[in-house]
Structure 1
Amino acid sequence: MLTLQIFLYFILVVLNVLDGVSTWKVVRPKHLYRERNPVARWIFAKLGLLPGILVAEFLWISTITLVVLLLGSLPVWGYIVLALLFIGIVIFTWIVLNNFKNWRGIRSRELAQKHGSGKENAKHA
């Protein structure tokens, strides 16, 4: 069971790093309103986007680490930790996929505007 806990823990940590990267892509440069998590949005507003993402991810990964280390070794809690890790993986997979989907849409609109404005400028010249 310990091996499975460690494996799921590392998957969740990787997903949290991807959450930070995908949040950066969606929210930068000054689009805090796109962040749906009010606590994260508040942290980003107070600390700035990059420091806020780093602090938020550090706090979350630290919490996950403490839960796994403190409860994962106890026989009864081991199964609960597995369930929590699995639920976390499902939730953060959804968050990361949704963030990258949103970023792709934002990027497509930005490129369309850039190409559209370039064509208009060529017509006016």
Structure 2
Amino acid sequence: MDVEKINSIIDLFKASGLDEMSLELKDFKIMMKNNKLEYVTSNVIKNSDVKELIIDDEKNTNGDWVKAPFVGTFYSSASENDKPYVEVGQKVSKGDVLCILEAMKVMNEIKSDRNGTILEIKAKNGNMVEFDEELILIGE
């Protein structure tokens, strides 16, 4: 599979809004998650070429990510009927609850470590998050 086809697959994935996708052919495998290319392997493409395929999709933001301190299930509110703890554009203060991470049936409040404004919420309500995964971006 040539680089142009791989790039078109990546573009389709980004535009789809899917959380993750994998494609496996006889001599090619690509896996993508959360609009970031995790890894690409292929018997046809050399490893040196693969590095060029990884696209830096980082937004130019002035802020700090609140990252998951452990693996768990992300909840944006205390219950389904409650409004989310935070929304994009909302001002937060140090100590404000941003979300809940459930691990081993224990609900853990994740609190802001700074004052600022919510710029982005990457985690989806009810989805599993990995250790050190970016959850919420807080900026000035």
- Do Structure 1 and Structure 2 share a fold, with TM-score over 0.5? no
TM interval, short-chain normalised: under 0.3
Kindly indicate which of the two structures has a greater share of residues assigned to strand: 2
Kindly indicate which of the two structures has a greater share of residues assigned to helix: 1
Normalised TM-score (structure 2) = 0.21
State the structure with bigger RCO (CA 8 A, min sep 6), 1 or 2.
Answer: 1
Normalised TM-score (structure 1) = 0.23
